[in-house]
Structure 1
Amino acid sequence: MRFDIITVLPGLLESPFAHSILQRAQRKGLSEIVVHNLRDYATNKQKSVDDYPYGGGSGMVMSIEPFAACIEKLKAERDYDEVIFMSPDGEVLTQSIANHLSSKKNLIILCGHYKGIDQRIRDIFVTREISIGDYVLSGGELPAAVLVDAVVRLLPGVLSDETSALSDSFQGDLLDAPIYTRPADWKGHKVPDVLLSGNAAKIDAWRDEQALERTKQRRPDLLND
């Protein structure tokens, strides 16, 4: 699966993709993450990619030409399933969205900055807008990294235990049950007996019960959807 990320600050994305699961996925050839510097597509001497907003107001607006040039170049090289703009205006990222996108082949992700991007970019090129929460960040780079991480870990062969992703929180619209490891007794704080019983059926039933109870307490909205 290939991700093409367009950003004015490519350095912000160097570390997230160079470690742990995302690094292993790339080394195995299971995913390809390509970061494009938007300034490479600027046509002015200053390599600027923003301008003042029409109608006045604070902040600067990212221009349409550099984005259009980069997107059109990429689309001439391969087909893309989605052109995604990371925006607080978008639909909030969920596990269901990550599951859906993990079945795709090629994605373009746009990272905004400054006050935002020219609306025509969104109208002409963007097929989907995604937010990682109801708050505003300085740019779309961190949200893009979050989206890529959420999707890549679902690709077959990325995790050493492929069943792990299927039991994560939000798979099945429930939070995960409590988890424990050794020691079984730490200063009087003990692991639940059922987890030490070796009875797989009872353990599964306990985990289902705990997942439901934890979801009721912490995220009842998930049960009401």
Structure 2
Amino acid sequence: MTHYSLLITHYSSIFIYNYSTGHDISGANLENVDLSWAELKGVKLSQTTILELKWLTVWQIVNEKIQQRNLEGNDLSHAQLNNVDLSRANLCNANLSAANLRVAQLWDANLENANLCNANLSGVNLSHANLTGANLSGTDLSRAHLWGVILSDTILTGANLMGSDLWGVDLDGINLSGVNLSYADLSYTNLKDADLSGANLSRTNLSYANLSGVNLRDANLSGINLSNANLDNCILPD
């Protein structure tokens, strides 16, 4: 028996769990089937397979290597996209909420105004990506590579940036209050007038960072590296 045979009816929707890699669903009617977090890599389709456009797009992303995809405004929420290559893709205004993008390649991607709330972006490469106006609230960005990323007006409420690499990033005026930045590399960053109140900065590397005017009230600074950092007008914990 294949994993595909496991179907569970829940209210009016059918949920498919644990696709086997290489499973053949040619000719299957998957209309109105919820494929949230289903592993579609290696799954075989045919022209007679009936699949909602959203999940067909996900299938194409994980199975067809296309450079600089245009996915502007696409609904990719709850999609299983771990380890995909979306470098230089246009994801402006896309909905990626609660999607699994663990260790994906998103370098130089356009994610302006994208919805990434509660997504799994752990270990992702977002180097030089444009996240202007993106919603990253509750997003897991642990161990993410963020060199040269643009974070203007980005929402990071409740985000997890533990162990992330933000070396040299311009974070002027950013709101990182309450964010987990423990073990992150923020050396040489520009954090002028940023709000880091209540943030977890345990073992964070802020050497040579510009912390002029930064609010560090109630932040956890245990083991922090502030060597050669600019602390002019910085608000430190009591």
Q: Flag the structure with higher strand content.
A: 1
- Shared fold, TM over 0.5: no
Q: Which has the higher contact order (CA 8 A, sep 6+)?
A: 1
Q: Flag the structure with higher helix content.
A: 1
Structure 1 length normalisation: TM-score? Answer: 0.24
